[in-house]
Copies of this chain bind each other. A is one copy, B any other.
Amino acid sequence: MPSRASEQVINLIEAGLRDGSLKAGSRIPGERTLCMECGVGRSSVREGLRVLEAFGIIRSSAGTGPDAGSFIASEPQEGFSRAMAMHLLVRSFNVADTIEFRELVEGWSAAQAAHCEDSAQRDAALAEAAALLDRMDDPKINQETFHDLDMQFHTLISALGGNAVVDTTLGALRSSVLGYVLAAVKQLPDWRAEVEILQKEHRLLLAAVHNRDSAEAQRIAVQHIRGFAERAKIGLQQ
């Protein structure tokens, strides 16, 4: 944890969020004001602000105009994803636990996506998901591009579920395992054969969501994660 002095700056911002005086988009008081309000030096204030930036809670714009300064972030997911990814790296989380957790949440989320009400947004997301799968069919695609588009496909599906906590957690889980996925696919005897299996499952998942078949969407999502982990031997080394 940061030093006690910088901690006071973080506590002040947390208190503002808690009592509602700060919310997404609010401007944070300037460094001089924070020094006075917290009774700490300028380097401690900067340290506290850096920590809040790293958590994704505030974002700063440089310069001196009316848009300069620090604001409460309105899209703070990146900081959270990063915290989760770093925890996986420290191996306080092992890969097998992460996969098991992903099966649970990804399965639930696919079922929710199949439930979601008709809307123009839903149609657009399903069309975009189908377009991603078409791009992934390119026989000359490389592994990095394929698995990046794969992540985007799953992100579109789980966003349809409409639960921001689930969505962010899954986003963080997916980006934290991407390194392992890419390392594992290099060990596969036949990556193109794996692509065929994954793409078949992607299309079945998309169809189940499209047809509002929650049970089938959940079943395929779980099987998709479990099967890939087994074939690529992810999480079995530990």
Contacts and interface: CB of A to CB of B under 8 A. Distances in A.
Contact of A89 (B3, B18, B54): B18
A168 to B, nearest CB: 7
Nearest to A112: B100
Nearest to A89: B17
A24 B76 contact: no
Contacts of A75: 92
Given A54-B2, A73-B90, A75-B92, A98 B17 contact: no
Kindly report how many copies of this chain are found in the complex they form together.
Answer: 2
Interface residues of A, number: 53
A97 B165 contact: yes
Interface in A1-17: 1-3, 6, 14, 17
A132 to B, nearest CB: 25
Interface stretch (A101-109, A118-126, A195-203, A223-231): A101-109
Given A1-B53, A163-B97, A80 B84 contact: yes
Interface of A: 1-3, 6, 14, 17-18, 23-24, 46-47, 50-57, 72-80, 82-84, 86-87, 89-94, 97-98, 100-101, 104-105, 108, 163-166, 168-169, 179
